[in-house]
Amino acid sequence: MEVEGSNRPRIPADLQKLIADMAANHVTWGEARIAAELLLKLGIRVSPWTIRGYRPPPPPGPQRGPSSQRRMTFVRNHAQAMLACDFFVAVTTRFRVLYVIVIMEVGCRRITHFNVTAHPTAE
């Protein structure tokens, strides 16, 4: 069954309300998480694409707050378990190209490992 003039499958009104409530109460959950919760806890199989169509739209940007706030909250909560790495090239004064890799612990901002080579290999 499909909604007239749409490719979206028709789902019961109570399930539509449940999807909207789940999205409102758990703002960090995406469509896939809501679909998984419905399947695992209620045995209802709904596609994440279908859930996207019945989810209420997010509030406008200024009321919701900057998206970097959520990312920074995540980084603060998990900084002790995170590593950051960077791979770049450096050119010397004699125009030699050196390849540099740096791995740093995010929580304490300490360099865990670094290496510099003129000829990188798979090893």
C-alpha pair distances (Å), 60 with each of 21, 26, 64, 67, 104:
18, 17, 6, 12, 36
Whether the CB-CB separation of 33 and 65 falls below 8 Å is answered with no
Q: 4-56, pLDDT tens digit by residue?
A: 455 666 889 999 999 999 988 888 888 999 999 999 999 999 999 999 888 87
For 62, the 3-state DSSP assignment is helix
Domain ranges across the chain? 1-59, 78-117
Segment holding 61, helix H or strand E: helix 61-64
Give CA–CA dist 14/35, Å, rounded.
15
pLDDT in the model for residue 27: 82
Q: 71-118, pLDDT tens digit by residue?
A: 778 888 888 899 999 999 999 999 999 999 999 999 899 999 999 999
What does DSSP say about strands 83-91 and 110-117: parallel, antiparallel, or unpaired?
unpaired
The sign of the CA dihedral 79, 59, 28, 86 is: negative
